[in-house]
Structure 1
Amino acid sequence: MNNAIFMDRDGTINVYKDYVYNINNFFFIENVIDAMIILKKMNFFLIIVTNQSGIARGLFTKNDFLLLTKWMVFYLKLRHVHIDAIYFCPHYQKGIIKKFKQTCLCRKPNPGMLLDAKQHFNINMTNSYMVGDTESDMLAGQSAGIGTNVLVCSGKEITKKSKTIATWTIKSLASLPNMIKTHKNINPGL
């Protein structure tokens, strides 16, 4: 079985702004690329799981999202970071684009995207991590059986509830490799 780092996108990988859908508004959070390089060297699969309700809301198209995603993957590849998979949910129950106006199992806090990745990549969820900046990220990780749910303070404002659901709270994804190494030193059986 494989271990994975499941990562939210907005507020976790890139600077949080409402509905980022083009390259001009996409800025990587400081040191997250370096952290991803280290996490890959630690033999983790890197899997992005992101809600993109802006598609259902009609704020941007699925194609806009895919173009930005293609650019992001290429940019990371140039810096020696391989993203193993990207799962996204375009749905929103109150959306205006009929095709995407629905309740689904993939929109976090539902665990659908994580469970799909688990099956596709044979992921050991107990030894994996969900990293995100919202309560819905933490709940999705918890529902999917993720062993460590990591709340980052680099995105949306942290709520008391999201802090209580999280296993760890860290400044940003950049801190994760050291947290994992420290934790393994404390609990070498992991």
Structure 2
Amino acid sequence: MKKPVVFLDRDGTLIEEVNFLLNEKQIKVWPKAIKAMRLLRSKGFLLIVLSNQSGVARGYLTEERVEDLNRTVFNQMRMMGEVPDAFFFCPYHPEAKLERYRRESELRKPDVGMARLAAQRFDIDLSRCYSVGDKLSDVGLGQNLGGKGVLVLTGHGNAEKNKLTFETEYFPDCIVSDILEAAKWIVGDLESIETP
């Protein structure tokens, strides 16, 4: 049976934003992220981390380094009591310093390529999807999939909120203080849709 899914941003949403995470010492998993994932998991959601990693395209770190850092995040989360089902990342950027990464890519949020890859690997019900993050591109991902996008005010969230106008392409379905509040909203929203 297909499961509902929450696509989670990594930096500024699950962990502290440090403006290009380069080493393990910079990783700080927020306890509220663990509580949020635990709540969502208890309601049957798959939890998939999708992250734009333009630091690769800019030459700050390699794809292998991003994978190492994701493993460290995963291990810290496991020690804290809850983990996502998978991590996906996009190394491409249209203004990349490194030519092999300089391109538009459907993997880059708000495009849906990473979510489609996740749907090939997991039994995901994309008609019941949410995307949570600290940027409007995270909101756009969920909306581009036909789901909902939630903006958290951690990380870059406050700056992104200040950009909102009536003409904003990806206007959040919900704006909340942090990932735990996002999880509570998502649970309530899905229950309201599915309750006759």
- The reply to whether TM is greater than 0.5 is yes
Match of 1:4 in 2: 5
Contact 2:15 2:29 in 1 (8 A): yes
CA RMSD of aligned residues (A): 2.0
Match of 2:47 in 1: 46
Give 1:135's aligned amino acid. Answer: L
Give 1:169's aligned amino acid. Answer: I
Shift of 1:17: 2.1
Shift of 1:86: 0.9
Shift of 1:93: 1.8
Match of 1:92 in 2: 93
Seq. identity, %: 27
Which moves more between the two structures, 5-14 or 156-165? 156-165
Match of 2:137 in 1: 136
Give 1:20's aligned amino acid. Answer: L
Q: Answer yes or no: is 1:153 the counterpart of 2:157.
A: no
Shift of 1:184: 5.1
Contact 2:141 2:149 in 1 (8 A): no
Match of 1:169 in 2: 175
Secondary structure of 1:31's partner?
helix
Contact 1:150 1:170 in 2 (8 A): yes
Shift of 1:188: 5.0
Secondary structure of 2:55's partner?
coil
Secondary structure of 2:56's partner?
coil
Give 1:160's aligned amino acid. Answer: L
Quote the Cα distance in structure 1 between the aligned partners of 2:170 and 2:67: 34
Shift of 1:14: 1.1
What whole-Å deviation, never above 9, does each CA across 1:98-149 have from its counterpart, x for those lacking one? Answer: 3222221101121111122123213112222100111111112211222x21
Contact 2:136 2:170 in 1 (8 A): no
Match of 2:123 in 1: 122
Secondary structure of 1:125's partner?
strand
Which moves more between the two structures, 46-55 or 165-174? 165-174
Contact 2:6 2:129 in 1 (8 A): yes
Q: 1:96 to 1:45 in 2, by over 3 A?
A: same
Shift of 1:84: 0.9
Q: 1:103 to 1:31 in 2, by over 3 A?
A: same
Structure 1: unaligned runs, 5 residues or longer: none
Match of 1:29 in 2: 30
Q: 1:53 to 1:181 in 2, by over 3 A?
A: closer
Contact 1:53 1:91 in 2 (8 A): yes
Matched positions, count: 189
Quote the Cα distance in structure 1 between the aligned partners of 2:141 and 2:53: 15
Match of 1:108 in 2: 109
Contact 1:150 1:166 in 2 (8 A): yes
**Runs of 4+ that moved beyond 3 A:** 161-164, 180-188
Quote the Cα distance in structure 2 between the aligned partners of 1:131 and 1:139: 10
Secondary structure of 2:124's partner?
coil
Q: 1:38 to 1:93 in 2, by over 3 A?
A: same
